[in-house]
Amino acid sequence: MSAPRRWPRWLYSAALYLLSPLVWRRVWREHALTNSRWERLGLLSRSPASGPWLWLHCASVGEVQAARPLIEALLAHYPRHRLLVTTMTATGAERVHALIEARRRTGEPERLAHRFLPLDYPGAAKRFVARLCPELAIFFETELWPNLLTVCRRRGVPTAVVNGRLSPRAFRGYRRLRPLMASALAQLDWLAAKSRGDAERFRALGMPATRTDVVGSLKYDLTPDDAASEQSKRLCTRLGSRPVWVAGSTHPGEDERLLEAHARLRQSYPNALLILVPRHPQRFEAVAELCRERGMALARRSRDEWPDGRTGVYLGDTMGELLMLYGAADLAFVGGSLVPVGGHNLLEPAAMGVPVLTGPELANFADVAETLRQGGALVEVRDSAMLADTLVTLFLDEAERHRLAEAGLAVVAANRGALARTMAGLEQLLPGE
């Protein structure tokens, strides 16, 4: 392997130092009480217990949720190892801590831990990798950190990007930094791409084809656990026979449109209930106020309030319950798709056996959307008016709701297997036990 050019990474590191005030302002907000801010500099407060360690990095809550099957597989396949999951965001940290707590409740050995990812300064990267000494470093989706990858290479730590995703929009941005991206990708031992299109975009940035495989999306290997399914059933039973739809992972500018659609739906179904789940917890209060401004009677899950017959909106202002809330509804709209965000995980409601609705903005999940579309398992709407009309139509047509639900389950089942292929590839980097 030819040595990558160093100057792009030196310029990148210099830019990071120059932008330090802005970088620190951002990460200062992304704080969890369970973690020290010094972790951002590679200082592992409360040093993890003795290893050996595997390291998995997921950017935020969505990636942690998508990586859950991989987390469980790594813990099962490497029983001598502990697994450290790093995140960039506080919401991601909360999701990992919820997984740790769930394992603790079932009596599992404490082999899963969380820390924040250090900022990609050369010194912070060196401190983090030297203190952890992982035997394998895994980066989820598009997490390419040049200094961390370089330190891993120098210390002999095998590295992989799994569920590798690079949307056309992200590719256009990275292409402007091709020398830096080529330098970072040269450090990777293996790239497990979600799709052929993702693999081609990574190769166009400099990833060697000989170290790239197309394994499919890990998101299809999502299997709802028994606890979530049981909670969904109990919630569904308690809500009764009223029409219930959920809008998950919603964004600013989108909640307003969803409430407009819900108001129109309630003209036909006065007792219809919307379970509204904003993507980011810092918006819970603002969305609650928005519901009140729109004249919607509101119940908040975080306060153990229960939606009665007059309640129009049940606000899912808790963390880690979206999958369960999807399963309690008759229909599910996946947010980030009526505004130019690029959409979120369409497979979560499908895996729960709930018909999937989405807006037109699907850049982040174009391949998943196309697979669901081909399987007749995706309902697409242009705007809030079309969403309202579609909701009315589907609540009238129980047979079509059942067909959509079964089609979604069939698509998920037919496309599973990426997890096994990913684990087989990682086995080549670090044999199992």
CB 256 within 8 A of CB 291: no
Instruction: In whole angstroms, give the CA distance from residue 125 to residue 271.
Output: 55
CB 160 within 8 A of CB 173: no
- Please tell me the predicted confidence (pLDDT) of residue 228: 83
Nearest to 34 by CA among 150, 115, 130: 115
Q: Name 347's Cβ contacts closer than 8 Å, sequence gap at least 6.
A: 217, 219, 220, 222, 368, 372, 412
**How much is the pTM?**
0.83
Helix (H, G, I), strand (E, B) or coil at 135: strand
- Please tell me the predicted confidence (pLDDT) of residue 111: 93
Q: Which residues form the catalytic set?
A: 63
Sign of the dihedral defined by the CA atoms of residues 82, 160, 4, 59, in that order: negative
Q: Is the bond preceding 52 in cis, omega lying within 30 degrees of 0?
A: yes
- Please tell me the predicted confidence (pLDDT) of residue 49: 61
Q: Residue 361: how many CB atoms within 10 A of its CB?
A: 18
DSSP assignment letter at 42: T
Q: Which two tokens stand for residue 148?
A: 């961390």
Burial of 303 (0-12, 13-18, 19+ CB in 10 A): exposed
Tallying the residues shown for the chain, one arrives at 433
CB 262 within 8 A of CB 236: no
- Domains annotated for the chain, with CATH where assigned, are 7-216+417-429 (3.40.50.11720), 226-414 (3.40.50.2000)
Instruction: In whole angstroms, give the CA distance from residue 404 to residue 333.
Output: 13
Strands (E), 66-133: 82-87, 112-116
- Please tell me the predicted confidence (pLDDT) of residue 79: 93
Instruction: In whole angstroms, give the CA distance from residue 113 to residue 190.
Output: 24
Q: Which helix (H) or strand (E) holds 71?
A: helix 61-77
Instruction: In whole angstroms, give the CA distance from residue 260 to residue 371.
Output: 29
The per-type count for the chain, helices as H runs and strands as E runs, is 18, 14
Helix (H, G, I), strand (E, B) or coil at 250: strand
Instruction: In whole angstroms, give the CA distance from residue 231 to residue 320.
Output: 13
Question: Chain-centre distance of CA 158, in angstroms?
Answer: 24
Helix (H, G, I), strand (E, B) or coil at 382: coil
CB 35 within 8 A of CB 115: yes
Instruction: In whole angstroms, give the CA distance from residue 60 to residue 140.
Output: 10
Q: Which two tokens stand for residue 147?
A: 């200094």
Q: Which two tokens stand for residue 69?
A: 């099957």
CB 131 within 8 A of CB 102: no
Considering just the CA atoms, what is the radius of gyration of the chain in Å? 22
Instruction: In whole angstroms, give the CA distance from residue 333 to residue 381.
Output: 10
Burial of 148 (0-12, 13-18, 19+ CB in 10 A): buried
Q: How far is the first Cα of the chain from the last one, in angstroms, to the nearest whole number?
A: 29
If the chain, 433 residues long, is cut into consecutive pieces of 10 residues, what is the mean pLDDT of each piece? 70 89 81 82 68 92 91 95 94 90 85 94 94 95 93 96 92 91 94 94 95 94 85 93 97 98 97 96 95 96 94 94 95 98 94 97 90 97 98 98 98 96 96 77
Outline where 167-207 has alpha helix (H).
Answer: 168-175, 178-185, 196-204
Strands 190-193 and 212-214: parallel
